Amino acid sequence: MKAASKLSGKRAADYWVDKLRQSPYALVILFFLSAFEATLIPIPLELILIPYMLLERQRIWLISTVALLGCLTGAMAGYWVGVSLFDSIGQWLIGITGGAEAFEQYMNSLDEEGFIAIFMVGITPVPFQFAMLGAGATGYPLLLFMLASGLSRGIRYYGLAALVLLFGDTAAELWKKHARAVGVSVLLIFVVGFLVYFL
């Protein structure tokens, strides 16, 4: 852990992705990271998925499936928060993901477009927390919410896997070149590091 604390940027990301790859609990960690990304951490999971998929191409479809299942588990938990705890935990989550004004705009879209509004959140940079909290708070049907979430995130994760398989070497070069410039999230690296270190 001390050695990792001296690393920064791309080297830290490479270190923790390599540790994740070596961990016997890698898929379990990925499942929970995906669930956390859907509910608590408004940071793209792709920061870990892309380099991990590049290293583990033989398991790429399994990795995509685990990421999808983690996301859907988090989505169901977030939907329940929207139904039961919107005025407390729900408001707190809105605050950490983008604020009340952005959420209100999303709620207008959800009211007008329903399924499409939820689907679009799953494939765009809009925080996924908006979809799950909004759907739960408005009583949007759970099965339709899960279907929209599964379709959109399935496109996102399986599409990413297909791109890595098609353009793997190019993707690897782009990752090496731009990881530092993109500024790999210290929070995400810490979470991965913590999970890998203690599991």
Domain count, the chain: 1
Q: Is 135 exposed, middle or buried (0-12, 13-18, 19+ CB in 10 A)?
A: buried
pLDDT digit string, tens, across residues 121-160: 888 777 788 889 989 999 999 999 999 999 999 999 998 8
pTM of the full predicted structure?
Answer: 0.77
Q: Which of 39-43, 128-132, 181-185 has the lowest mean pLDDT?
A: 181-185
Residues near 32 by beta carbon (within 8 Å), at least 6 away in sequence: 70, 195
Q: CA 76 to CA 189: how far, in whole Å?
A: 25
Residue 163 has pLDDT above 70, yes or no: yes
CB burial of 154-166 (b: ≥16 within 10 Å; e: otherwise) equals bebbbebbeebee
Residue 4 has pLDDT above 90, yes or no: no
- Single-letter amino acid code for the residue at 169: D
User: CA-CA distances (angstroms) from residue 14 to 2, 78, 114?
Assistant: 16, 31, 40
Q: CA 73 to CA 37: how far, in whole Å?
A: 11
**Between residues 89 and 125, the one the model is more confident about:** 89
So what's the pLDDT on residue 197? 47
pLDDT digit string, tens, across residues 91-115: 888 887 767 787 888 888 888 899 9
In 8-141, alpha helices (H) = 9-22, 26-39, 46-55, 60-84, 91-97, 100-113, 115-123, 128-138
**Are 52 and 21 within 8 A, CB to CB?**
yes
So what's the pLDDT on residue 52? 87
Q: Which domain holds residue 109?
A: 2-198
